[in-house]
Amino acid sequence: MGDQGVDTAFGIIYPPQVAIVGFGRIAERPWIASGKIDARPLVTVTLSADHRASDGHRGALFLTAVGRLLQTPETL
């Protein structure tokens, strides 16, 4: 949905799906690093999952892995 200008996308799961990932648009947002406020390009990534198939812990691990991969896109 990010290519449509949407900041955040929350997916709805329809059976037989068990999860869906949403990517918002890349936008400059304030970021604090080393005590200074800076503008950085950020994207919001969301995960909707059926807790009968997985749990929040695994979802958090997945989103953390996606975040790490997006930090170094040249390694993809």
pLDDT at site 6: 82
pLDDT at site 2: 60
pLDDT at site 46: 93
Active-site residue among 7, 38, 50, 55?
A: 55
Query: Is 76 contained in some domain?
Result: no
- Write the CB contacts of 47 (distance below 8 Å, at least 6 apart in sequence): 19, 20, 21, 22, 59, 62, 63
Walk along the chain (76 residues) in steps of 10 and give the mean pLDDT of each run: 77 92 92 94 92 91 94 88
Active-site annotation holds for 3: no
pLDDT at site 1: 65
Domain containing residue 15 = 2-71
Active-site residue among 7, 50, 51, 57?
A: 51
CB atoms < 10 A from the CB of 49, how many? Answer: 19
Overall domain count for the chain: 1
Active-site annotation holds for 57: no
Query: Is 65 contained in some domain?
Result: yes
pLDDT at site 18: 93
